[in-house]
Amino acid sequence: MNSKIAIITGAAGGIGRAITTEFIKKNITCVLVDINKKALADLQKQYGDKVYSLYCDITDIKSVKSMVNKVIKKYRAIDILVNNAGIIEPNLFENASYKEINQQIQVNLLGPINCTYEVLPHLKKSKSPSIVTIASLAGIVPETYSSLYTATKFALRGLFLTLHIELKKHNIHVATIFPDSVNTPMLHYEAMHGGSPLTFLSKPQKPEDVAKAVVKGIETKRPEIVVPSSQGFITRFIMVFPRLVVTLWPLLEKIGSKNKANIQKTIKS
């Protein structure tokens, strides 16, 4: 991974920052991509010449093309793409607005598609290219009160597992990371805005845990990694039995609701 050029979308978020720090330890040059210009400026100041920050709206194809062209003009290569940007608008499907529906589909699904499609021709020229996408445990099991978010993450799993197979002929490794809840501002937002109780079943992971999984995915060439790994077998096993899912979910929601209430108290204090 030494001396490679990596694009990280959603770089201003908690997980994006952790991935940047982990990559810099590996002597990877990081192109930090985000829609938050102020946060990008802060990151550029923090990391200095170890990073190159670029504004990009990943839902806008022209913006993605411009970003990729700037990276190629500066570095003449792209070796790693990390699709990390994502949003969530917790709500029951029946109460969701079209704005909430479209935003989640645009950012969570079409954004990674846009970035992957535009970066792909350049990855084909790399000696050891990788695409890593941050999905969610909600990409394996359903997450009530976040059906649209869940739909986008399920779609990411299908897309990038397929690309893992298709792109082998170009020596491009494709990995998808499925974190359980992560202690980030997004998790706090979920806690205070009707987020799914299932999100709060377990103790939140650290962003650094996800960043290390990204590195592991690249180094080991694994197609999927669940964070924490203990959740991997459990979630995949449960999904073999849809009736079991339906039976268990009310109990799991009850447990998650208690944990969620505790987190809400912590945030308010």
**pTM score > 0.85 for this model?**
yes
DSSP string, 223-248: SEEEESTHHHHHHHHHTT-HHHHHHH
pLDDT in tens, 106-132: 999 999 999 999 999 999 999 999 999
pLDDT in tens, 166-185: 999 999 999 999 999 999 98
On the question of pLDDT at 164 being above 90, the answer is yes
* Dihedrals phi, psi of 39, to nearest 5 degrees: -65, -35
Amino acid residing at 180:
D
- Domains of the chain in start order, with CATH, are 5-268 (3.40.50.720)
Which residues have CB under 8 Å from 74's CB, separation 6+?
52
**Predicted confidence band of residue 83 (pLDDT cuts 50, 70, 90):** very high
Percent of the chain at pLDDT exceeding 90? 89
Predicted pLDDT of residue 77: 97
How far is residue 252's CA from residue 255's CA, in Å, rounded to a whole number? 5
